[in-house]
Structure 1
Amino acid sequence: MPEDKARRRVVRAHNAPEHDQGISDHGYPAEEERDVYEKMRLSKPVPVGTRRRVPPPATNIQEALRQNMEHIIPAIYTLLSCWTRFHDIGKSNYVVWDEAHFGKFGSHYLKREFYFDVHPPLGKMLVGLVGGLAGYTGNFDFKSGAQYPDDVPYTAMRVMLSIFGVLMVPLAWYTAREMGMGHRASHIVTIMTLCDLAWLCISRFILLDAMLLFFTFLVIFCLTKFHSERFEPFEPDWWLWLALTGISIGCVCSVKWVGFFATAVVGLYTIEDLWDKFGDLRMPVRTYFYHWVARACCLIVLPFIVYATCFKIHFIVLNHSGPGDAQMPSLFQANLVGNDFGRNPVEAAFGSRVTLKNMGYGGGLLHSHVQSFPTGSKQQQVTCYHYKDDNNHWNIAPPWNEPAVDLQGPIRFLQDNDVIRLQHSSTKRNLHSHAVPAPVTKLANEVSCYGNETVGDNHDHWIVEVVDDLKQGRRSNVKRIHSLTTRLRFKHKRFGCYLRAANVILPQWGFKQVEVSCEKDTSPSDTHTYWNIENHWNDRLPMADRSHSSSPFFRDFWHLNVAMMTSNNALVPDPDKEDILASKPFDWPLMHLGLRMCGWGDHQLKYYLLGNPIVWWSGAASLVLSVIALLVYALRWQRKYADFEPAELDKYLFMNKLSLLGWALHFGPFVIMGRVTYVHHYLPALYFAVLSFGALLDHFVFSSRRLNARAKWTVFGLIVFAVVDTFWWFKGIAFGIDGPIGEHKGLQWRKSWNIY
């Protein structure tokens, strides 16, 4: 007997005894294991240029039902999803958890006030949109735990936003089918999506997470549809699903940056696909080049257009001055309605009171307050602060060896190479530097405030260096320093170092503000040493009435994204405080801890963000088992065992690569990042664990020729019963637990859950 025949794991179906064949998961005999979808897609490649046959129109109801069964099933699941997401959605009339943030951002859109947040704007714009559609006027401040007034249609807003959670369920069905799973495995994936309590709970409030999850599901669905069209490149359907994949990538990244992990899944798939095509010697070089161009246009350019368009709309809508102005460049702020920068005097002079804006990406305003450094000189702190405050005000004064400003004498305008003192308006101390290491950047000098109106030394002297001016041009053309448009550097006269704010965050004693230091070895092009005068007050100078240059969009777009990244990186755990809501990434797969989303009083409706234990634990187990199975198959392949036919191998590898890599790319980054993490950060990764569980069941149980139909239905029924029964047991944590928590027994399956 030949070796390859002797080592074949399963005898071919036409040689198998009839009693061993059984009925497959798809209702076909074993020799027709795959359903119609799979037979068209996997049994053999579809020749390029051919189209799949479209069935003729139905002539009766029975035939119509047969032809549309693939859509009737998800329609039923969608109705069930509507019930779970909408049931008692307005029962709690209090601001729950992060509704305090995202509801407030929606209010800013309705009032058109500029604000700042660490997340991209698409999700928050949708919050503002549903608020406007529901009749909300933006007059509520969404304080955490506050009761909603009668004029805030919070229930309608929750319902409209929960539609994203509703649509997750049919997307799960269609994705499982497109991946090649049979009906039973697809039902299990869909039921697990329907009955997971964490997905359900977080979809029922004014939050961004339901949108993030929906667009993540959409990216994977569009990718699987595109994968199904891979044998018909450059056909209309191929272009459609490639373009929709790119659009969904742009949308998911525009809700939260976690969406870039879904982008990485598509990116790895694309790299592998192009690498395989590179090895296809039958493909003309021109065709291969067109594949690169198509993917670059649809998966890079198109998502960027969607992402940038969201920011453009964000800037257009928020055209009034608001609480987030200080995060943006001064010229951007000057174009906001209600901002008075344009009425300030144009030319700065000695005796002027100013605020100084750092022009590095994410830079703030030069700031000081009465608190002192706990180390180093222990003098008054100097920081960069991102919000408008009287402690941002500084007086431009002459050096100690020159007479004070004569308010009755001629005005002395500020020019390049002038030596000045910057006196803090509130405390009257002078901006100062000395040979003391900065608190965080040890290689730089500390910058502090020292002395008063009569006490000081030459360490208070700074040389003003003009970089250029946005209107006057290069340095040589700048005769007088202008507010808003002139870029400046401040060089310490004694040490030759430059005033710098590089987004280094101070500890809690510095109120998590940005460190300001004096650094000598800096590049002339280092924007973190660039400053401009933002606010300018001088009663002796005329108020300006000037037209502003428009602030370039892509400059503002880049500036805001860097500021978002800087603020996001600053969200690190505080060792001085215990965050009872935070959790570690390795706590998530086995549900070590949930999250209380509101107050826990006896008379409050209580929500606990915790998943369905069967869904989470089976998903975690399937990830481990899938890796083990892949390793075993790899060993058997090395020993020349033929466990798969080519089409079966393609299907099996695609399902496992998509689920395992998707989970790793959505989970791994949280392990290595330093920011504070919460259990809801695991929810996108959970989807890939569920897909992994469905793929594992489909391969080893529902497609097995060793199990008969009764055994398969028994496994299916047990799993569905366990998932649905557990959902019903814990449904209160998502629908709301009323009354004393002690009256609700049996909810603490793990001692670490802080339910009671």
Structure 2
Amino acid sequence: MDFLSKKPLIKAEKNWAGTSSKNDASHAARGEAAVDWPLWILTVLSAVTRFWRLGYPNVVVFDELFYSRFVHMYVNGIFFFDSNPPFAKQLIAGAAYLANYSAQNETFAKIGDAYSPETPIWVLRFIPCLFGTLLVPLSYCIVRNLGYSQLAATISGVCFLLDGALITGSRFVMTDSVNLALLLSSLFCILRFVQSRPLSGSSVLWGLLVGLFMGLAISTKYVSFPSLLWFTWIIFRHYWKVLDDLSISAKRLVEYFIYCVLIVIFVPVAVYVGSFLIHLTVITKAGPYDTMMSTRFQASLEGGLAAISRGQPYNVAYGSQITLRNHAGVQDNACWLHSHKEVYPLRYDDGRGSSHQQQVTCYSFKDVNNWWIIKHPNKTILEVESPPEHVRDGAVVQLVHGVTGRLLNSHDVAAPISPECQEVSCYIDYNITMPAEELWEVKIINQEAEDRYWHAIQTNVQLIHVNSKTTLSISGQQLPPWAFNQFEVVSSVQLSKFTLSLWTVEEHRYSTAHSGQKEREAALLKDEFIPDKATDLSLWKKFWELQWSMLGLSRDTVEEHVYGSKPFDWIMNDNGVAFWAQKGSNRQIYQLGNVVVWHTGACALLVTVVALSLVVLVRMRFPEIFPNHHIQWIRVCFAAEVALGGFVVNWLPYFFTDRTLFFHHYYPALGFKFLLLGGFMGEIMDLCRNKEYLAKTVQALVAVWIMSVIYTFVRFVPITYGFDELSASELHGLEWRESWNFIIRNS
């Protein structure tokens, strides 16, 4: 077997991608074995390095703190909210369901908490581990399909095989290995697609697989998006080249274009939407994360708000008792319009004076002080009349605080934290020249119903202060301890343009006559509803609401984190991540890349960029040196487009990202870097192929490099797997860079 053979693993009718190819006859003539032994050996070793003692440790490791909880909620049909799509979690939950993982109460408080004895830990970690195993054979096949030898493909395979960061990321209940494997699967199918004759049977098959894997990748993690854009570019660049083929009719070219659009846009979108529809069909019960969603969404879930809102009156009327939830919420939590008997301090810390009126805040918990009564401004009664007088769009109302009986008020006094806005209070008559300004106009926003009445759950409203024409809003600012660290409510013109000014009636009941304030307060505390029917919200509406909520969360800036890192740190493996440390010992799992692999890859990146730049400049002056039709030049251009381009689009955008970044954001770029390294070594070996001395020298250097990779992998095995405890001095000996912060206990 010729270990340096350049033949791709596929049989192409024509070399549509422009990479080097040989036919099967010449392949057999060279005596190459039908079985690709390097591929099989690498695959077996990959399984060993990933699955070896997979159930260890039997405690929560790093982000298993969240993902194990999500899986448990999935299996039990409980709604949860995550900033990434659900596909990988669905796979893990499916395996867990088959293993009867449902009854365990997995409510972990911190990393290191033990799983219950009945938890099938091996099953929970199986799916990420399986996809982590597939990274090695996929990388090998991709490099072979780019036209490089088995040795070049083996180099890429070894990078994936013995990289400690990828091994660690594959052995626990996380989704990064699943995402990277799906991206590599997409790329492999793209190579098969572009090397097939347009619209042939193999072209149609591989094209559909391209769309499927692209859809599954973006349905797993949003960090896939740059890769998918690049894959789309590769396919349409391929189509542009196919236009030169005069053997293909114009009609077939149009059909091929439509098919390319189908596989890179419509199929991935269909898969993405389908994953969410399955997601929303399965998780139908209320849970701790449903407060991230709107009142309507919560009311459609079984239990929770649904148990409160079912059976309550639909139309808001004068005399209605209501709770008002802010549409935007604060700090990813819901909050309700709230008041209590405490008043604003006479003077704030900055020396400004206040109205000394009763405080009005936004409170993130259910509380009796969240109840308000809608009052007609020209009537004194606080009960719903018979028949009820419903509140319409444009109606003027007063809001009476249910417990204290004071009216919601605003006036020309600066708010405590946001002085550019007006203060909101409940009015206390101090017999001074500050009259009450207690009238509010109801403005209905984006209501689906056409009757223009104010509805519970279904309607978003703005409350416009009649005197100042400002809008009742939250500012998002947290108040000091004198307001129990609740959130500021203001009246503002500027904030009226944002969802901070939208309110929804969440809980609603028609109040009955009470003889006094104490009786009304007692009624607010004890009244409950008996559920009679579910609130209807279609899957499609749930899908769109969930998309907007996830988008909003993804835009939020994450606070600084001890294991945060920067794009430049990723190139040379400057930072690692502590996944787990055993209490009282130095046994730990620390995510760290293989230094030899990462540094070699960084050098390959730099040399490739410099070399290609020089070649382009030389060809401008001497085009005959590298003619366009030269097979090696064609392969270099295509491989660089795939691997180098893929690295750049997955790495460069993070320099413009205003949020804390972590190592897992680098996974896609890392995969392309390892592919580039295999292609880079393949080109060097091909340049030396006809010079025996140089060829043997390069092969010897490759052998030394592989041995160095193996040595580095073995040195760091104790912290890659956490099986063995090292002494403090041994751990210090592994700190090859000052930025690697191992957890070292000297005792």
One fold, TM greater than 0.5?
Answer: yes
Q: Do the aligned residues in 1 keep the contact of 2:324 with 2:503 (CA within 8 Å)?
A: yes
Q: Do the aligned residues in 2 keep the contact of 1:663 with 1:689 (CA within 8 Å)?
A: yes
1:643 corresponds, among 599, 613, 626, to 626
1:191 corresponds, among 135, 148, 158, to 158
Show the counterpart of 1:621: 603
Matches within 5 A, 1:376-415: 389-390=366-367, 393-398=370-375, 403=380, 405=382, 413-415=390-392
Question: Hey, what's the Cα distance between the residues in 2 that align with 1:111 and 1:382?
Answer: 39
Question: Hey, what's the Cα distance between the residues in 2 that align with 1:448 and 1:227?
Answer: 64
Judged with a 3 Å threshold, the aligned counterparts in structure 2 of structure 1 residues 357 and 305 are, in CA distance, closer, same or farther, namely farther
Cα root mean square deviation, aligned: 4.0
**1:465 partner letter:** K
Matches within 5 A, 1:81-96: 81-96=46-61
Judged with a 3 Å threshold, the aligned counterparts in structure 2 of structure 1 residues 513 and 189 are, in CA distance, closer, same or farther, namely farther
Deviates more, 1:242-251 or 1:141-150: 141-150
- Structure 1 position 675 matched with structure 2 position 659: yes
Question: Hey, what's the Cα distance between the residues in 2 that align with 1:436 and 1:273?
Answer: 65
Give the drift of 1:278: 5.6
Show the counterpart of 2:146: 179
Deviates more, 1:490-499 or 1:408-417: 408-417
Show the counterpart of 1:289: 254
Question: Hey, what's the Cα distance between the residues in 2 that align with 1:283 and 1:307?
Answer: 33
**1:464 partner letter:** V
2:7 corresponds, among 20, 23, 35, to 35
Show the counterpart of 1:18: none
> Number of aligned pairs?
702
Residues 324-349 of structure 1: per-residue CA shift (max 9 Å, x gap): 22333333333322222222232334
Judged with a 3 Å threshold, the aligned counterparts in structure 2 of structure 1 residues 651 and 407 are, in CA distance, closer, same or farther, namely closer
Give the drift of 1:630: 0.6
1:330 corresponds, among 281, 286, 295, to 295
Matches within 5 A, 1:136-215: 136-137=101-102, 138-144=104-110, 145-215=112-182
Deviates more, 1:257-266 or 1:544-553: 544-553
Question: Hey, what's the Cα distance between the residues in 2 that align with 1:657 and 1:193?
Answer: 21
1:117 corresponds, among 82, 104, 107, to 82
Question: Hey, what's the Cα distance between the residues in 2 that align with 1:53 and 1:700?
Answer: 24
Show the counterpart of 1:752: 739
Show the counterpart of 2:212: 247
Show the counterpart of 1:20: none
Question: Hey, what's the Cα distance between the residues in 1 that align with 2:317 and 2:430?
Answer: 21
Judged with a 3 Å threshold, the aligned counterparts in structure 2 of structure 1 residues 413 and 474 are, in CA distance, closer, same or farther, namely closer
Identity of aligned residues (%): 26
Matches within 5 A, 1:130-141: 130-137=95-102, 138-141=104-107
Show the counterpart of 1:461: 439
Deviates more, 1:682-691 or 1:537-546: 537-546
Show the counterpart of 1:318: 283
Question: Hey, what's the Cα distance between the residues in 1 that align with 2:9 and 2:312?
Answer: 69
Question: Hey, what's the Cα distance between the residues in 2 that align with 1:432 and 1:611?
Answer: 60
Question: Which secondary structure state, in structure 1, belongs to the residue aligned with residue 462 of structure 2?
Answer: strand
**1:558 partner letter:** W
1:498 corresponds, among 471, 482, 488, to 471
Q: Do the aligned residues in 2 keep the contact of 1:433 with 1:445 (CA within 8 Å)?
A: no
Give the drift of 1:98: 0.6
Question: Hey, what's the Cα distance between the residues in 2 that align with 1:272 and 1:228?
Answer: 13
Q: Do the aligned residues in 1 keep the contact of 2:101 with 2:119 (CA within 8 Å)?
A: yes
Question: Hey, what's the Cα distance between the residues in 2 that align with 1:685 and 1:618?
Answer: 15
Q: Do the aligned residues in 1 keep the contact of 2:444 with 2:461 (CA within 8 Å)?
A: yes
**1:623 partner letter:** L
Judged with a 3 Å threshold, the aligned counterparts in structure 2 of structure 1 residues 403 and 728 are, in CA distance, closer, same or farther, namely same
Question: Hey, what's the Cα distance between the residues in 2 that align with 1:355 and 1:438?
Answer: 23
**2:107 partner letter:** D
Give the drift of 1:299: 0.9
Judged with a 3 Å threshold, the aligned counterparts in structure 2 of structure 1 residues 448 and 98 are, in CA distance, closer, same or farther, namely farther
- Structure 1 position 654 matched with structure 2 position 638: yes
Judged with a 3 Å threshold, the aligned counterparts in structure 2 of structure 1 residues 637 and 75 are, in CA distance, closer, same or farther, namely same
**1:498 partner letter:** T
Show the counterpart of 1:584: 566
Give the drift of 1:135: 2.5
Q: Do the aligned residues in 1 keep the contact of 2:320 with 2:384 (CA within 8 Å)?
A: no
Question: Hey, what's the Cα distance between the residues in 2 that align with 1:611 and 1:672?
Answer: 24
Matches within 5 A, 1:343-742: 343-358=311-326, 364-367=334-337, 389-390=366-367, 393-398=370-375, 403=380, 405=382, 413-422=390-399, 433=410, 445=421, 448-451=424-427, 458-467=436-445, 469-471=447-449, 473-475=450-452, 478=453, 481-499=454-472, 506=477, 518-520=491-493, 529-538=501-510, 540=512, 547=533, 550-574=536-560, 579-599=561-581, 601-603=583-585, 605-640=587-622, 641-643=624-626, 645-705=629-689, 707-708=691-692, 709-736=695-722, 738-739=724-725, 741-742=727-728
Judged with a 3 Å threshold, the aligned counterparts in structure 2 of structure 1 residues 329 and 278 are, in CA distance, closer, same or farther, namely farther
Question: Hey, what's the Cα distance between the residues in 2 that align with 1:238 and 1:513?
Answer: 60
Gaps of 5+ in 1: 1-22, 28-33
Give the drift of 1:128: 1.6
Question: Hey, what's the Cα distance between the residues in 1 that align with 2:235 and 2:276?
Answer: 27
Question: Hey, what's the Cα distance between the residues in 1 that align with 2:42 and 2:8?
Answer: 22
Question: Which secondary structure state, in structure 2, belongs to the residue aligned with residue 485 of structure 1?
Answer: coil
Q: Do the aligned residues in 1 keep the contact of 2:8 with 2:147 (CA within 8 Å)?
A: no
Q: Do the aligned residues in 2 keep the contact of 1:355 with 1:365 (CA within 8 Å)?
A: no
**2:662 partner letter:** Y
Question: Hey, what's the Cα distance between the residues in 1 that align with 2:177 and 2:405?
Answer: 51
Show the counterpart of 1:15: none
Question: Which secondary structure state, in structure 2, belongs to the residue aligned with residue 532 of structure 1?
Answer: strand
Show the counterpart of 2:235: 270
Give the drift of 1:651: 1.0
Judged with a 3 Å threshold, the aligned counterparts in structure 2 of structure 1 residues 40 and 411 are, in CA distance, closer, same or farther, namely closer
Show the counterpart of 1:69: 35
Question: Which secondary structure state, in structure 2, belongs to the residue aligned with residue 135 of structure 1?
Answer: coil
Judged with a 3 Å threshold, the aligned counterparts in structure 2 of structure 1 residues 381 and 549 are, in CA distance, closer, same or farther, namely same
Q: Do the aligned residues in 1 keep the contact of 2:339 with 2:401 (CA within 8 Å)?
A: no
Judged with a 3 Å threshold, the aligned counterparts in structure 2 of structure 1 residues 260 and 468 are, in CA distance, closer, same or farther, namely closer
